[in-house]
Structure 1
């Protein structure tokens, strides 16, 4: 995840992310996925000033990594946003 202001990244991922989860999803089915992330400002001496920002998300999903033959595993990236957020 990242927070931008006027096209410039002002905050990005910080801290340790939780361990991945394994889901079995049937073909054609859907599954809701929620994630919590820690963000830190690029200028670690201050927080975000009050104002309008945009939140961008990128989540990596790996498929087939539990197979013994890892050559069958594949990764897709799912993008979300930008969503407008207000700080302050």
Structure 2
């Protein structure tokens, strides 16, 4: 996993001017479009992280089974001697 930039709303003078100079419907529409794109970015990043976590859990499960098998083989080999 890596640290990456995420979507955010601007907080500069241009955004303030946008709020003060436009109709409320235009503001709502543009904010909803911005939020939709931000949500999409978060969903994509979360899907990628879920994929990494699933791979990690599979590897942990495999390593755990190999550890148990190794311990069993060691116990069997000491009992056979």
| TM norm structure 1 | 0.22
Structure with bigger RCO (C-alpha 8 Å, 6+ apart): 2
Bigger Rg over Cα = 2
Higher strand share: 1
